[in-house]
Chains A and B, each alone.
Chain A
Amino acid sequence: GDSVTQMEGPVTLSEEAFLTINCTYTATGYPSLFWYVQYPGEGLQLLLKATKADDKGSNKGFEATYRKETTSFHLEKGSVQVSDSAVYFCALRGSGGGADGLTFGKGTHLIIQP
């Protein structure tokens, strides 16, 4: 079945550092890929998405590129802020056409120190 693998952390960085959170996936066909963010005490919010190979999703300074050849969707940001501290989830939606839900990674806890 489909699966998503990401580093769990916690990942601790200083403010203005460069961020990479790795995400790799296993799925048949051409899944849609997502990054969700969960701030403390809140539900998940969609951060960005990509629906086909080589697409780049971007939002709030974050970027991720759908790499079919390496089955990856790494999240990057050039200069993180304290307000970026949250848990980040990589997720995929299989291309099978059914109505089942997203497959999530286990989440990466990001801590940004001032």
Chain B
Amino acid sequence: EAQVTQNPRYLITVTGKKLTVTCSQNMNHEYMSWYRQDPGLGLRQIYYSMNVEVTDKGDVPEGYKVSRKEKRNFPLILESPSPNQTSLYFCASSNFPNSYEQYFGPGTRLTVT
């Protein structure tokens, strides 16, 4: 089954404690992306990657890092989380440039206290 998986699904942490949210896709897509979803703001792109070792900033990259060492994986790293990063995070992949359709993971709900 074609899918995007994320782990963990739920995470509660404290300010300043480094964390990583993993994302993996099995569709051999070159394009992967991270979004955050906040009430009243919709989804906003954090980072994206067009291929292995190629990443770029989206609309709200501050406070986040990503890496793309393998085609299937695209982890999101918060080196020093802060309460304003409490949000619902989605990973997505796409068969860009052949298609703009994005396939989303189930989401990770992060709470930073």
Contact = CB atoms under 8 A, between A and B. Distances in A.
A77 B85 CA distance: 36
A34 B105 contact: no
Interface string A76-114: 000000000000010001000001111011110000000
A45 interface: yes
A44 interface: yes
A43 interface: yes
B56 interface: yes
Nearest to B100: A93
B42 A105 contact: yes
Among A45, A99, A106, max chain B CB count under 10 A is at A99
Interface residues of B, number: 26
Interface string B20-54: 00000000000101010000111111001010000
A100 B43 contact: no
Interface string A41-68: 1111110010000000000000000000
A100 B48 contact: yes
Contacts of A105: 42
Contacts of A89: 42-43
Given A42-B106, A44-B90, A102 B42 contact: no
A32 interface: yes
Contacts of B40: 8, 106
Contacts of A42: 106-107
Contacts of B101: 34, 46, 49
Given A99-B48, A99-B50, 14 more contacts: A34-B100, A41-B106, A43-B4, A43-B90, A43-B107, A45-B104, A46-B101, A99-B56, A100-B58, A101-B45, A101-B58, A102-B100, A104-B43, A106-B41
Interface of A: 8, 32, 34, 36, 41-46, 49, 89, 93, 99-102, 104-107
